[in-house]
A = this chain, B = another copy of it.
Amino acid sequence: MVTINDVARRAGVSVSTVSYTLSGKRTISASTRARVERAIAELGYHPHAGARALASARTNIFALMAPLRPDVDVSVIMQFVTGVVTRARTADYDVLLLTQDEADGVGRVGSGSLVDALILMDVESDDPRIPQVAALRQPTILIGLPEDARGVSCVDFDFEAAARLSLRHLTALGHRNVALIGPPPAVIARHTSYADRLLRGYRAQAEHDGVGCVIEPAGTAPGEAVAALDAVLTQVPELTGLVVHNEAALPVILATLRDRGRRVPEDISVVALAPADVADAQPVPITAMDIPALNIGQVAVDMALARLRGSDTVETRLIAPTLHERSSTAPPR
């Protein structure tokens, strides 16, 4: 194993000089720097992560706690993860992947100084992890918005506003017989933060616009999506407007609508909450509130970095929704 000592000897300088060339925390003459860098390249030196962590109290690792469970929508999760990992790397950070189902994962990686900051996904309205991270030295960023966010920074898509806007888009077009096909029942039962806010927004807007409030959760399996749609059609036979927030269900619902003889948008208008690529890739491009999942992951990292640089402002950032009109909405006939 090649150490900083080997580099120093080879370059004819002291160990500390090598360290300072690497970190840039002191000025180093151009010629010295060059010799050190050559030695590093020749020896193929990589600093020992553990030693570095011990001496500097920094690991350059983030913990990302992601929901590796079947009931959440994999493609969106992946986008968050991708956003986090790629942005972290640009700041020379690595990402440690944790699951929810370890009881004290937070304490272990936090108190054990394994990571410099934590990013938590799939936040619930009253999330048990919040007191845990609050006890930590490391800053934490939540992707999601709990009821009580004291002391932790949050970032998320503004699902409440998104739900309101989606419905308003339909009612503004003149639709009165509308419904929402929402997240899986399990997600709602857990009071996952986004689901709570989504439903709250939808209910408020339905009341505000004076339309009936029909909400049907849908599981991730195709059969469940069909069942949910049929349940909606039973409750609202005259249905002309549908809001869908459920990645997995979207294609199935569109296919089933066709099966049932309902054309989109002539008979039924559909608004989705989904990443742009998903909405765009459907047989009929879907008018949607684009969920910028990749971007939210990146913002989470940026907030973590800011905190590590000393900013102690705990903030909540809600990404405002923008409705992207595609071909799936029209006035009712």
Contacts and interface: CB of A to CB of B under 8 A. Distances in A.
Interface of A: 1-2, 44-54, 59, 61, 64, 68, 70, 74-75, 77-78, 81-82, 85-86, 89, 94-99, 101-102, 107-114, 137, 221-223, 226, 251-252, 255, 258-259, 277, 281-283
Contact of A46 (B47, B54, B78, B108): B108
A86 B114 contact: no
A208 to B, nearest CB: 35
A288 to B, nearest CB: 15
A252 B88 CA distance: 35
A281 B222 contact: yes
A37 to B, nearest CB: 16
Given A59-B50, A96-B61, A281 B112 contact: no
Contacts of A110: 46
Given A68-B85, A74-B75, A283 B223 contact: yes
8 contacts: A44-B107, A46-B111, A48-B54, A50-B51, A50-B59, A222-B251, A222-B281, A223-B283
A54 B3 CA distance: 12
Contacts of A258: 259
A95 B97 contact: yes
Contact of A78 (B53, B78, B222): B78
Contacts of A137: 1
Contacts of A46: 107-108, 110-113
